[in-house]
Amino acid sequence: MPKDWVTANGIKPGDSVSMEVQPDGTLNVEPEIRRDKVTDTLIISIDRNEPTEHITRKLIGAYLAGSTIIEVRSTDRMGLDVKRSIKDFARLVIGPEVIEETSSTVVLHDLSDPVELPQKKCVRRMHLIVDSMHRDAMVAYSEGDAELAKDVLERDQDVDRLYWMTVKQHALIMDDRRLAKRLGVDVHGSLSLLLAARILERVGDHAEKIAQQALGAAGEEKPPTVAEMREFSSRAVEMLKQAVESFFIQDVVMANAVIDESRGTLEEGGKLQPRLQGTGGKGTMSRTAVMDSLVRTIMYATDVAEIAINDAMRHELKKKG
């Protein structure tokens, strides 16, 4: 074994290593017992004038890198806005909890376990949430329900938390192939799940935009075309549902059906757009914005369907190999 590799992994005389043949024919050699690494603890040093947005970005990077302990240290007394941003970050993602706090230090401990909440479960949950967000956002918009719109906006954070967890797990899988085996995915499958999660996160953003339009248009009288928009919305979320299902069960026929259906549906949407503008009134811009989000949801459904086809073909190739 290469000396540098043995030293870096802390392998001692008598320690065991595992060897596994990879699909591409290469041999993967890993220590049977992974030693605790210094990189599991990351210290983030900040100064007094550092913007909180910069601190949040560093925290996200540390989280995605797989740091178990994240310690934020300030050269001076830490401002309340900085401590608030650190705690907001802990609510933004899944796992980190504040375990220690002083006048100049905040320590976070990531308690998340990828085995308990694997990527597949994250993506499934993301779809359930964005589906309900989208449906409720359209009800809020068409019926002028401001409270329901606010509820939709609050749910977007749940989608973001699951998305960051999916990104983090992909990073961990890239560093530890044995983790991939425990989670029942390979590197390519993990990437597909990450891509699907990113798309669902964007669908959630559009549901949020519809809810924002609902808040702005609350109390306004809606024209008859809004009923057609609701029907278009129902078709959009149903197509997304079929696309996600085709992804998980690797059904190429179902995925192709979503893509084929999207063409006709988008054409119908194109015909509806001028009628939305033709009704006039101050709600024209709002209706146009909502319709744009509905169209994009359909386009994202086709993106998921394409990932489903690509993933299914890859699995077919592996079976033959």
Predicted pLDDT at 183: 85
Predicted pLDDT at 189: 93
Q: Name, in order, each residue with C-beta under 8 angstroms of 108's C-beta and a sequence gap of 6 or more.
A: 59, 69, 70, 71, 72, 86, 90, 96, 97, 98, 99
- Alpha-carbon separation of residue 180 from 191, 204, 309, 310 (angstroms): 11, 27, 22, 20
Could you say which residues of the chain have pLDDT below 50?
A: 35-39
In order of start, what are the domains of the chain with their CATH numbers?
38-110 (3.30.1370), 119-320 (1.20.58.220)
Predicted pLDDT at 25: 64
Helix axis angle, 119-143 to 146-175, nearest 10°: 160
Please state, rounded to an integer, the average pLDDT across all residues of the chain.
89
Do residues 171 and 64 touch, judged by C-beta distance below 8 A? yes
Number of other CB atoms surrounding residue 98 within 10 Å: 13
Predicted pLDDT at 48: 81
Predicted pLDDT at 38: 40
Predicted pLDDT at 34: 53
Predicted pLDDT at 303: 98
Structure confidence by residue, pLDDT tens digits, 48-61: 889 999 999 999 99
Long-range interactions of 232-235: CB distance < 8 A, separation 24+:
232/265, 232/268, 232/269, 232/272, 232/291, 232/294, 233/134, 233/135, 233/138, 233/294, 233/297, 234/135, 235/265, 235/298
